[in-house]
Every structure is written in structure tokens, then in C-alpha cells.
Structure 1
Amino acid sequence: MKLGILSDSHDNLPFIAKALALFEREGVDCLVHAGDYVAPFAMRALLKFKGRVLGVFGNNDGEKVGLKKLCPVLVEP
């Protein structure tokens, strides 16, 4: 199993798109995000990943309720 690990995306949609393209090229099976999505629209972009998505909240994730609705597997670190 190949893991794709990223963090601190901070609503940066171009960064998220580049990471997802890299993960697809490399055949990544599971995306692990170490926090700081910041807002639900960033999570929506990450959920375009075709494999499993796991993650934890970061210190800048203020909209935890909205993020958790989109990705119920998110946990506190």
C-alpha cells in the first residue's frame, strides 16, 4: 500500500490539485492529511482523491463541524 502524506494545505487549492495529481501518478492508495485544511471547501477538493482519505485536525482548523460532516473519519491529534 502506498501512502500519500500532506499537511498544512490551508485552503490552497492549486497545492491540493498538484498533490492529488502527484498521488495519482505515483499510484497512491491512501491519502493521509496531518491537519490544517482550514475550511470545508479544501476538504471537498481533497475528497476528489480516488482512494481512502484519513486525517487529523490541525491548530488552524476552525470549521471542525463542517470538515467532519464531509469526512467523518477525521480525528483530534
Structure 2
Amino acid sequence: MKIGIVADSHDNVPAIKKAVEYFNKSNISFVIHAGDYIAPFSVKEFLKLKTKLLGVFGNNDGESPEDDPVS
């Protein structure tokens, strides 16, 4: 099993395209994004993956409602 790992793509669409092309050629079982996608438009490039994408939010991706502290 091969796993692709990427992180800190920070809206770098040319680099994301290259990574997606590489993963698609390399028979990857799934790809993990370790955070910092940044803007939704850059995430669209990952839709071209021929496999599953699993990911987490990074410190520059904003906060989700679940991150709010409980008073």
C-alpha cells in the first residue's frame, strides 16, 4: 500500500497540480493532507485525485465551530 502525504499547500495551485498528477500516476491508496490548505479554491484541485483524500485543518485554515471553548 502506498500513501501520499502533503501539507502546507497554502494556495500554491501549480504545486498542488503537480502533487495530484504525481499521486495519480503512482498508484496511491489514499492521500493525507496534514493541514493548511488555506482557501477553498485551492481545495478544488484535490478533486482531481483518483483516490480518497483525508485531511485535517491547519493553523492557517481557520477554526471550525467544534474548536470554540466551552464556558
State the partner residue of 1:33. Answer: 33
Instruction: State the Cα distance separating 1:62 from its structure 2 match.
Output: 2.5
- What value does the CA root-mean-square deviation take over the aligned residues? 1.9
Q: Which amino acid letter does the alignment assign opposite residue 55 of structure 1?
A: G
RCO higher in structure (CA 8 A, sep ≥6): 2
> Secondary structure at 1:47's aligned position in 2?
helix
- When normalised by structure 1's length, the TM-score is 0.76
> Secondary structure at 1:9's aligned position in 2?
coil
Q: Percent identity?
A: 53
> Secondary structure at 1:32's aligned position in 2?
strand
The count of aligned residue pairs is 66
Compare 2-11 and 55-64 and name the one that shifted more: 55-64
State the partner residue of 2:12. Answer: 12
- Rg comparison, structure with higher value: 2
Q: Which amino acid letter does the alignment assign opposite residue 5 of structure 2?
A: I
Q: List 4+ stretches of structure 1 deviating above 6 A.
A: none
Unaligned runs of 5+ in 2: none
> Secondary structure at 1:31's aligned position in 2?
strand
**Following the alignment from structure 2 to structure 1, what is the Cα–Cα distance between the partners of residues 36 and 64?**
10
- When normalised by structure 2's length, the TM-score is 0.82
